[in-house]
Amino acid sequence: MENPSPNAPESAPRRLVDTYGRWLHYLRISLTDRCNLRCIYCMPSGGLPMLRHEDILTLEEQARMAKVAVNLGVNKIRLTGGEPLLRRGVATLLKDIDRLTPRPDLRITTNGLLLERHIDLLESCRVSTLNISLDTLRPEKYGNITGVGQTAGEKLFAKVKRGIDLALETGAFQVKINVVALSGINQDEILDFARLTLKAPLAVRFIEYMPVGRHKPFQPRHFLSTEDILAVLADLGPFEELPTGPGDGPARRFKVPGSPGELGVISALSSHFCAACNRLRLTADGRLAPCLFSEKTVDVKAVLRANPTDEDLAQALLKATREKPAKHHQVPNQTIAAGCPMSRLGG
């Protein structure tokens, strides 16, 4: 679909179509850079310098961006972070997005620690999918991976587990478990994670570790490629690949015949899925990132704070769309990470 020229009649629907003909209809909003964990691949152990309160978009600004994006054809919105459920007043934003017309598919990516507290809210706002990040099934390891130490880790692991069980019990959500696959850290748990799909209706997705955020040197020795992951999964027995549709996420999907759940691999680096990219990102500090690895962003916060019309904001979204690269140029063996910290960007 082509973008109409600026002189097109007001009624002509505009879409975010980039220079390479990709329709961007998926907006990921990072609600906050705050987090209650310090995952080893995401943050330094002491955490990152926090954004100043006034530099983080307000919930009203985030809701307005969601509305303008939906008017430009965005039909899928994911709330992420930092930890999105830590954002004070998150209920207001969820309700505002739930009331949008046309209503986008609303999803959230969370570390699961606050799921118990928020599950009713997420259900009442018709969140369709909960992506829950969990990198180990061993309580004694959780604290090391998430940087909270072993004693706290065991308690927090139990909390995440209760959150996942509750999410499944409600039956209201698609539940996806995101596992960053790391050599020497959780490679030995890949099969245990995969076996969860034999018992429960959830998707377990193994994600390649990515060099994102200059604050955190990339450790190539921990990188596991999709090929490595699939080689481990071969011990599970036969599984079949499932088709993916145009609106689906970046995961290649698999299923052990007869099992209630499914497996996924997200080959963010080794065999990227940029040709089918459909997403824009709004960072916690109000920048539109054309790509996960973008160095160049569009400062929409400045626009939001200059008494803009909706058209001004639409123009910022269109500008970010025009600046979207064809693909990323990261390779698994480099140590330098690019772009904005994951916790501001939202993954």
Ligand X SMILES: Nc1nc2c(ncn2[C@@H]2O[C@H](COP(=O)(O)OP(=O)(O)OP(=O)(O)O)[C@@H](O)[C@H]2O)c(=O)[nH]1
Ligand Y SMILES: C[S@@+](CC[C@H](N)C(=O)[O-])C[C@H]1O[C@@H](n2cnc3c(N)ncnc32)[C@H](O)[C@@H]1O
Annotated binding site for [4Fe-4S] cluster: 35, 39, 42, 274, 277, 291
Decide whether 171 or 238 has the Cβ nearer to ligand X.
171
Applying CB under 6 A, does 22 fall inside the site for ligand X?
no
What mask of x and - would describe binding to ligand X in positions 87 to 116, judged by CB under 6 A? --------------------x-x-------
From the list ligand SF4, ligand Y, ligand X, none, pick the one residue 249 interacts with, judged by a Cβ distance below 5 to 8 Å according to partner type: ligand X
| CB of residue 143 to ligand X, shortest distance in Å | 21
Annotated binding site for GTP: 28, 78, 109, 176, 279-281
For tokens 């992420």, name the residue.
80
- Output 134-137 pairs: Cβ under 8 A, ≥24 positions apart: 134/160, 134/164, 134/177, 134/178, 134/179, 135/39, 135/179, 135/180, 135/182, 135/185, 135/186, 136/186, 136/189, 137/189, 137/192, 137/193, 137/196
What mask of x and - would describe binding to ligand SF4 in positions 26 to 55, judged by CB under 6 A? ---------x-xxx--xx------------
Single out the residue of 65, 69, 94, 109 in contact with ligand Y (rule: CB under 6 A): 109
Decide whether 51 or 277 has the Cβ nearer to ligand SF4.
277
* The amino acid at 175: V
From the list ligand X, ligand SF4, ligand Y, none, pick the one residue 212 interacts with, judged by a Cβ distance below 5 to 8 Å according to partner type: ligand Y
Single out the residue of 18, 33, 61, 83 in contact with ligand Y (rule: CB under 6 A): 83
Single out the residue of 153, 163, 211, 249 in contact with ligand X (rule: CB under 6 A): 249
Annotated binding site: 28, 35, 39, 41-42, 78, 82, 109, 133, 176, 210, 274, 277, 279-281, 291
Question: Phi and psi for 282 in degrees, rounded to 5?
Answer: -110, 115
Contact 347, 289 (CB under 8 A): no
| CB of residue 236 to ligand X, shortest distance in Å | 21
| Beta bridge partners of residue 251, listed in sequence order | none
Q: How many residues contact ligand Y, by CB under 6 A?
A: 20
Decide whether 81 or 163 has the Cβ nearer to ligand SF4.
81
**Which chain residues interact with ligand X by CB under 6 A?**
78, 107, 109, 129, 131, 176, 178, 207, 210, 249-251, 266, 268, 277, 279, 292, 347
- Residues near ligand Y (CB under 6 A): 35, 41-42, 80-81, 83, 109-111, 133, 178, 180, 207, 209-210, 212, 342-343, 346-347
